[in-house]
Amino acid sequence: MQKTFAMIKPDAVERNLIGKILSRVEEEGFKISGLKLVEMSKKQAEGFYSVHSDRPFFNDLTAYMSSGKTVLMVLEREDAISHWRTVMGATNPEEANEGTIRKEFGESIERNSTHGSDAVETASEEISYWFSGFEI
């Protein structure tokens, strides 16, 4: 079993898609080990996305991520990290495969509805950025 960190981003929370996306999480065989709804601050968003701090979209991205509520999740499954990335689809919804969450729900490359960690090390860092040990 492996853990990954996932989010339902503000664009999807705003459009009442929490239930649909959580259903998909369960259908894909993930165990939900941690779950909470937060309205992150701009500073928290900047810290979370610090790897992208030199990118031209950094300010817009962190403004958007702090513009409303986000669902934070720790998901557990065999091969959780790569499986969740497959279920989400490509970063840009226009390039995402049919049947993926980003293809179905994403509005733009920025407002792409979900997040998923990309590697074992980042998954562990991202989980501890948002969750304390007793929450998972």
Alpha carbon distance 38, 70 (integer Å):
5
> Which region among 19-27, 30-38, 104-112, 126-134 touches ligand IDP (by CB under 6 A)?
104-112
Task: Let me know: does 65 contact 40? Beta carbons within 8 Å.
Answer: yes
Position 125 contacts ligand IDP (CB under 6 A)? no
Q: What are the C-alpha distances in Å from 66 to residues 28, 44, 48, 69? A: 28, 8, 11, 8
Residues between 8 and 37 with contacts to ligand IDP, criterion CB under 6 A: none
> Which region among 21-29, 37-45, 68-76, 110-118 touches ligand IDP (by CB under 6 A)?
110-118
Binding partner selected for residue 42 from Mg ion, ligand IDP, none, CB under the kind-specific 5 to 8 Å limit: none
The binding site for ligand IDP (CB under 6 A) comprises 57, 61, 91, 109-110, 112, 115, 118
